[in-house]
Amino acid sequence: MNTHQKMKAVGAYQYLPISNPESLIDLHLDKPEPTGRDLLVRVKAISVNPADVGVRETHNYEAESPKILGWDAAGIVEQVGPDCQLFKPGDKVYYAGSVSRPGSNSEFHLVDERIVGNMPRSLDFAAAAALPLTSITAWEGLFDCLGISANTGENKNILIIGAAGGVGSIAIQLAKAAGLTVIGTASRPESIQWVKNLGVDFTINHNNAFHPQLKEVGIDAVDYIFCLNDTVQHLENMAEVIVPQGKICSIVPVNKATWAGSLKMDLLFSKSVTFVWEFMFTRSLFHTNDMMKQHELLNELANLIDDGKIKTTLTERLEPINAANLRLAHEKLESGRTIGKIVLEKF
C-alpha cells in the first residue's frame, strides 16, 4: 500500500438511516496499488444500485475500517498489475466490480481486468457508468439463465416484472433485440411511459392479478418471466401465467426473516417450470472459470451501444461525487420510485 498518496472516497463506519449525515461520510484513504490481474482505475463516474443500499444496511461493520460501497464505475486505467493482458494505462473502461472487495465510491479503484469492459466510444463517463451492473444482470438473466438466444424470439414472449428499474430498462432492450414480444410491468404513468419508450409491446400493473390483464391484450400465457421485484409477492401470479415447461429467472432473494414457507415452489411443480436465480457477482465472488465472460459481454454491449441498438438508462446526473450527493442518491433509491439510473460524476 502506498501511504504517501491519498485519495478521496465515500464510506461508512456503521449502519445509520440515510437521513443521518453520518450514514455516508467523506474520507481520505491511501491510494492502492495494483497487483496480479488488477487494474487501478481513476474513477470518473459512478452509479447507484439497490446493491449499494442492501450492503450498507446488512454489512457487519468493523469500526476501524470504513466500508466503501459502489458497484458501477467508468474511468481511465491509471496502472496495471504485472499479470494484466487486456488493458493498458490510458484505456477508458467501465465495470461493476466485485461485492467482496471495496466498492468504486473512491477516486482510485482496484478491479480484476476479467470483469472490466472497454467503454462505449459513443458515451461519456456518466452515461457509461449507468450501465455495467444492470446490463450484466440483464444479459446473464436472459441469455445464461433463461437460455434465450438471437433465434429464440419467433412467436415467443417474456414478462419482465419491475420493467422500469435499472435492470428492466436494459432487459427490455435486449429482449426486443432478440426478437421476443415483451410485456413489462409498471404501475405509474411515468414508469409506463418510460418502458414504452424503451420498446415494450404491452404493459400490465404488477399490483393487480396478472392473468386477467394478459387476457385483455390477447395473451394466454408467457414463455419466460424475468422477476426483478419481490419474488415472494409475485410467485402465485407467475405460476398462473407461465406456460408448461416455461422458465422463470429472479434476481430478488427471499428476505431471510420471512423465509419459513414464504416461497411456495410447489406452485411450479405441475407445469415442470424451470426456476433459476441470477446474481451478477457470482463470477467475481467465486472466481469462476468463466469470469472472463463479463469482460466479453461488456465489450459486446459497448458495440451494441455504439451501433445504436441499445441506449443508456441514465436519467439523472449529480455532481460532484461526495457523501452529500451519495446520501441524496441512496434516499431516492430507497423511495422505490426511481426510473432508470442515477449517476454521480467528478470528485
Domain check: are 256 and 235 in the same one?
yes
**Per-residue confidence (pLDDT) for residue 260, from 0 to 100:** 53
What residue ranges in 96-255 does DSSP mark as E strands?
108-112, 116-118, 157-161, 181-185, 202-204, 222-227, 242-250
Mapping DSSP to helix (H, G, I), strand (E, B) and coil, where does residue 51 land? helix
Half-sphere exposure of 295 (CA within 13 A, CB side): 15
Residue type at position 253: P
Domain check: are 117 and 191 in the same one?
no
* In a domain? residue 139: no
> In the structure, what pLDDT confidence band is assigned to residue 199 with cuts at 50, 70 and 90?
very high
What residue ranges in 194-273 does DSSP mark as E strands?
202-204, 222-227, 242-250
Average pLDDT over residues 97-111: 96
Final residue before a domain boundary, out of 231, 247, 277: 277
> In the structure, what pLDDT confidence band is assigned to residue 152 with cuts at 50, 70 and 90?
confident
Q: What is the distance in angstroms between the CA of the first residue and the CA of the last residue of the chain? A: 22
Q: What CATH number should be reported for the domain holding residue 193?
A: 3.40.50.720
**Per-residue confidence (pLDDT) for residue 73, from 0 to 100:** 98
- Range of 272's domain? 146-277
- Please state, in angstroms and rounded to a whole number, the distance separating the CA atoms of residues 282 and 8: 29
**Per-residue confidence (pLDDT) for residue 1, from 0 to 100:** 47
- Please state, in angstroms and rounded to a whole number, the distance separating the CA atoms of residues 236 and 10: 41
- Residue 276, pLDDT above cutoff 60: yes
> In the structure, what pLDDT confidence band is assigned to residue 151 with cuts at 50, 70 and 90?
confident
pTM: 0.95
- 274 — phi, psi (to 5°)? -85, 125
- Residue 26, pLDDT above cutoff 90: yes
Q: Which residues contact 201 (CB under 8 A, 6 or more apart)?
A: 181, 182, 183
Final residue before a domain boundary, out of 247, 277, 307: 277
**Per-residue confidence (pLDDT) for residue 224, from 0 to 100:** 98
234 or 64: which leads in pLDDT: 234
The count of domains in the chain is 2
Average pLDDT, the chain: 93
Average pLDDT over residues 134-148: 97
Q: What is the pLDDT of residues 32-58, one digit of tens each?
A: 999 999 999 999 999 999 889 888 887
Q: What CATH number should be reported for the domain holding residue 341?
A: 3.90.180.10
**Per-residue confidence (pLDDT) for residue 63, from 0 to 100:** 65
Mapping DSSP to helix (H, G, I), strand (E, B) and coil, where does residue 342 land? strand
Per DSSP, 340 falls in state S
- Please state, in angstroms and rounded to a whole number, the distance separating the CA atoms of residues 300 and 242: 30
Q: How far is CA 314 from CA 123, 251, 284, 302, 317, in A?
A: 11, 21, 25, 15, 8
Average pLDDT over residues 102-125: 98
**Per-residue confidence (pLDDT) for residue 182, from 0 to 100:** 98
**Per-residue confidence (pLDDT) for residue 2, from 0 to 100:** 45
Mapping DSSP to helix (H, G, I), strand (E, B) and coil, where does residue 65 land? strand
- Please state, in angstroms and rounded to a whole number, the distance separating the CA atoms of residues 151 and 141: 17
- Please state, in angstroms and rounded to a whole number, the distance separating the CA atoms of residues 227 and 201: 17
Domain check: are 99 and 199 in the same one?
no
Domain check: are 160 and 257 in the same one?
yes
Domain check: are 106 and 214 in the same one?
no
Q: What is the pLDDT of residues 297-326, one digit of tens each?
A: 999 999 999 999 999 999 999 999 999 999
* In a domain? residue 141: no
